Amino acid sequence: MVKSAHGAQGQAAPTAHTIRTTVALEGGTACIAQGRDAAADFLTRVQAEHGLPVSLRAMHLTQLVVSELVTNAHKYAPGPALLDLRIVGDTVEVAVWDSDPVLPVARAADPGRVGQHGLEIVMAVAQGFEVQREPVGKRITVRVALPDDPDGDVSGRNPQ
C-alpha cells in the first residue's frame, strides 16, 4: 500500500507542499527489496514530476539506508513495518517504524566482528539521525542530502 501527499487527480494537495510516500512492509525478507525499490521509485518520481535534483550517490545512499533500517526491523521486530519517505528541503527523510520498543545502539568498532554494522553505516552516511520511541514500537529517521555527488552528476539528467 502506498499513500502519497497528492490529491485525487495526482495534483499536490493545496495545503501541503510535502512530497511524501508511505509504504506498509508486511515482513519477510522480501520487504527489504520492496523498501529499496520504493525508495528508488520515489526519488525517480521526485526528479521527473517535481524537477528536484537527486544525485546518483544520493539515490544509492538512500537505498542503502532503507535496506539497513528495514533489515533491522525485519530481524528484531515482529510483524509489519512502515517506510515513510519525504522531501525536506534538499534532503530525503527516510523513516522506518517497527513494533519493537527497544532503541538501537551503535556498537563500538570491532574489525573482527562479522555483521551487525548496519547502524554504524547508516550513521556514517546520514546528514541527520534520530530515534524516537512511539506509543507502540519506535521510529528511526535518517536524512540524506539529495544533491550530494562529488563528481557533480545528477541522476536522471543529461550533461549539457
For the whole model, what pTM was predicted?
Answer: 0.81
5-19, 109-123, 141-155: least confident range = 5-19
Which of 21, 27, 28, 29 is CA-nearest to residue 1?
21
Residue % of the chain over a pLDDT of 70 = 81
Q: So what's the pLDDT on residue 151?
A: 54
Q: So what's the pLDDT on residue 106?
A: 79
One DSSP character per residue, the chain reads: -EEESB-TTSPBPTT----EEEEEE--STHHHHHHHHHHHHHHHHHHHHH----BHHHHHHHHHHHHHHHHHHHHHS-S-EEEEEEEETTEEEEEEEES--PPP-PPPP-TT--S--HHHHHHHH-SEEEEEE-SSSEEEEEEEESS--TT--BTT----
d(CA 37, CA 7): 23
> Is 68 exposed, middle or buried, given 0-12, 13-18 or 19+ CB atoms closer than 10 A?
buried
The predicted-structure confidence for 26-61, as pLDDT tens digits, reads as follows 978 899 999 999 999 999 999 999 999 999 999 999
Contact 55, 127 (CB under 8 A): no
The predicted-structure confidence for 51-89, as pLDDT tens digits, reads as follows 999 999 999 999 999 999 999 999 999 789 999 999 999
